Amino acid sequence: MVKRKLVAVGIGVLLIAGTGYGVYAKEVAAKEKALSVQWASVERGDVTETVSASGTVQTPEQIKMSFSGSSGRLTSITAKVGDQVQAGQVLATVDNLAVKAQVANAQANVISAQAKLAQARQGATAEAIAVQQASVDKAKTAWDGTKQAYENQWVLYNDRTAAQQAVTNAQNQLDNAKIQVQSAQAGLEGANAKLAAAQKGPSDADVNAARTSVDVAQEQLDNARDQLNNAENQLDYAYATATSANNSSNSTSLDVQKQIDQAQSVLNQARSAYNQARANLANAQKQLDNLEAGPDANVVAQMQAAVKQSQAALDQAQAAYNAAQQNLSYAKQNYENRAQAKAQLDSVKNNVDQAEAAYQSALAQLNQVQAPPDSNTILAAQAVVAQAQAQLQQQQATLNNYTLTSPIDAIVTQVNGKVGEIPSASNPVVILNDANTHNLQVMAQVSQTDVGKLQSGQKAEFSSSAYPDKTFYGKVLMIYPEATTQNGVTSYNVLLSVDNNEGLLKAGMTTNVTIITGVHNNVLFVPAQVLKEVNGQDGVYVSDSNDAGTNGGAKQNKNTSSTTGTNANVTFRPITTGLFSSDRVEITSGLSEGDKVAMSLPSSADKKATGGFSLGGGSSKATGGLAAKGGK
Which strand (E) or helix (H) includes residue 227?
A: helix 204-246
What stretches of 59-115 adopt beta strand conformation (E)?
62-65, 74-77, 84-85, 90-94
Residue 250 located in a structural domain: no
* pLDDT value at residue 252: 61
* Same domain (yes/no): 460, 594: yes
d(C-alpha 618, C-alpha 605), whole Å? 11
Report the DSSP beta bridge partners of residue 474: 460, 498
User: Do strands 62-65 and 430-433 pair parallel, antiparallel, or not at all (unpaired)?
Assistant: antiparallel
From 387, 413, 439, the end of a domain falls on 439
* Same domain (yes/no): 445, 434: no
* Same domain (yes/no): 434, 572: no
* Same domain (yes/no): 434, 576: no
Residues with pLDDT less than 50, the chain: 1-10, 13-14, 23-24, 28-30, 32-34, 546-567, 604-632
Distances (CA, A) of 542 to 581, 586, 629: 22, 16, 11
Please state the domain count of the chain: 2
Grouping H, G, I as helix, E, B as strand and the rest as coil, residue 58 is: strand
Grouping H, G, I as helix, E, B as strand and the rest as coil, residue 182 is: helix
* Same domain (yes/no): 529, 588: yes
Residue 249 located in a structural domain: no
* Same domain (yes/no): 471, 515: yes
* pLDDT value at residue 19: 54
* pLDDT value at residue 563: 45
Residue 418 located in a structural domain: yes
Distances (CA, A) of 93 to 198, 398, 404: 64, 13, 6
- How many Cα atoms are found within 13 Å in the side-chain-facing hemisphere of 124? 18
Eight-class DSSP state of 267: H
Residue 185 located in a structural domain: no
Q: In the chain, what is the straight-line distance between the N-terminal and C-terminal CA atoms, in Å? A: 73
Q: Is residue 46 left, alpha or beta, with left meaning phi > 0 and alpha meaning psi from -120 to 50?
A: beta
Strands, sheet with 62-65, edge to edge from the N-terminal-most edge strand: 62-65, 430-433, 410-415, 84-85
* pLDDT value at residue 242: 78
Report the amino acid identity of residue 468.
P
Residues 6+ apart with CB under 8 A from 578: 47, 520, 523, 585, 586, 587, 588
d(C-alpha 533, C-alpha 63), whole Å? 55
* Same domain (yes/no): 537, 593: yes
Residue-number span of the structural domain to which 434 is assigned: 62-94+402-439
Grouping H, G, I as helix, E, B as strand and the rest as coil, residue 42 is: coil
Residue 336 located in a structural domain: no
Report the amino acid identity of residue 76.
S
d(C-alpha 530, C-alpha 624), whole Å? 13
* pLDDT value at residue 98: 83
* Same domain (yes/no): 523, 449: yes
* Same domain (yes/no): 444, 508: yes
Write the CATH number for 50. Answer: 2.40.30.170
Which of 46, 41, 49 minimizes the C-alpha distance to 523? 46
Q: Give this prediction's pTM.
A: 0.39
pLDDT in tens, 27-83: 544 454 445 678 899 999 999 999 999 999 988 777 788 877 667 788 888 888 878
* Same domain (yes/no): 447, 410: no
Residue 43 located in a structural domain: yes
* pLDDT value at residue 193: 84
CB-based contact 483:448 (threshold 8 Å): yes
Which strand (E) or helix (H) includes residue 69?
A: none
Residue 342 located in a structural domain: no
Write the CATH number for 81. Answer: 2.40.50.100
* Same domain (yes/no): 477, 507: yes
Residue 412 located in a structural domain: yes
* Same domain (yes/no): 417, 444: no
* pLDDT value at residue 298: 80
Rounded to a whole number, what is the largest CA-CA distance in the chain? 180
Which of 137, 69, 76 minimizes the C-alpha distance to 102? 69
b or e along 17-30 (b: 16 or more beta carbons within 10 Å of the residue's beta carbon)?
A: eeeeeeeeeeeeee
